[in-house]
């Protein structure tokens, strides 16, 4: 599985630590991890709004399979991600959240709070969240006797979202193009995207926007 880590500007100082924990856990399980920013306070500037756009492009182009995102509270990054088609982002404050999200909702992104409640041993909480997020079988339900309705409802939710969503490129074009251009402007995002993109329409859109 290919996993992208993205964090907004206020939490950039924690990026190195979070990336190290993600690489140790997910990389140790054989997953590929891409740190698309912000790597430090001087990196390409990102808000949680940019993170949602980035998640949209990376997931829908199949450049990555899973997103780890976050901001101060985790709420903004989650809401910005869930605005977009094909992105199902859960809110994880502790390891049990990651476990239950995987088992019940089986989404493709998690949003963490990197400031609120992030104190002593915060790195351990991040590590254990990643362990629950990337180990075990997904979508099996919890408790197990609730598996069938949970799986059915998760599928229905995805169908409803697909029904009310615009085409990915159409939706991206409907956003302020300078906002999208800023979201895709970093070297590390572009390296991840162009090396792994599997959707030619999204690729063509991104190339055209970068050339403007």
**Beta strands 66-71 and 32-35: pairing type?**
unpaired
Proportion of the chain above pLDDT 90, given as a percent? 99
Q: For the chain, what is the mean pLDDT? A: 97
The pLDDT-based confidence of 212 (bands split at 50, 70, 90) is: confident
User: Per-residue pLDDT for 170 more than 90?
Assistant: yes
Backbone angles phi, psi at 114, to 5 degrees: -100, 5
By C-alpha distance, which of 105, 102, 87, 92 is closest to 135?
102
The pLDDT-based confidence of 141 (bands split at 50, 70, 90) is: very high
Whether the CB-CB separation of 54 and 44 falls below 8 Å is answered with no
Class of domain 2-211: alpha beta
Residues composing the chain: 212
């Amino acid at each position: 599985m290919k996993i992208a880590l993205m964090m907004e500007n206020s939490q950039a100082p924690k990026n190195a630590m979070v990336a190290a924990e993600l690489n140790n856990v997910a990389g140790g399980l054989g997953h590929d991890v891409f740190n698309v920013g912000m790597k430090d306070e001087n990196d390409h500037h990102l808000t949680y709004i940019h993170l949602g756009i980035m998640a949209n492009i990376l997931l829908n182009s199949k450049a990555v399979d899973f997103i780890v995102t976050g901001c101060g509270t985790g709420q903004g990054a989650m809401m910005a991600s869930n605005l977009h088609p094909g992105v199902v982002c859960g809110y994880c404050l502790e390891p049990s959240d990651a476990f239950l999200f995987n088992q019940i909702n089986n989404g493709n992104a998690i949003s963490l709070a990197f400031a609120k409640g992030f104190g002593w041993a915060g790195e351990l909480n991040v590590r254990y969240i990643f362990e629950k997020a990337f180990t075990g079988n997904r979508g099996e339900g919890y408790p197990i006797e609730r598996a069938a309705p949970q799986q059915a409802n998760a599928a229905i939710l995805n169908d409803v979202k697909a029904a009310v969503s615009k085409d990915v490129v159409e939706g991206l074009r409907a956003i302020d193009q300078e906002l999208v251009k800023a979201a895709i402007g970093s070297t590390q995002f572009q390296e991840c995207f162009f090396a792994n993109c599997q959707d030619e329409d999204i690729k063509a859109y991104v190339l055209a926007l970068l050339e403007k």
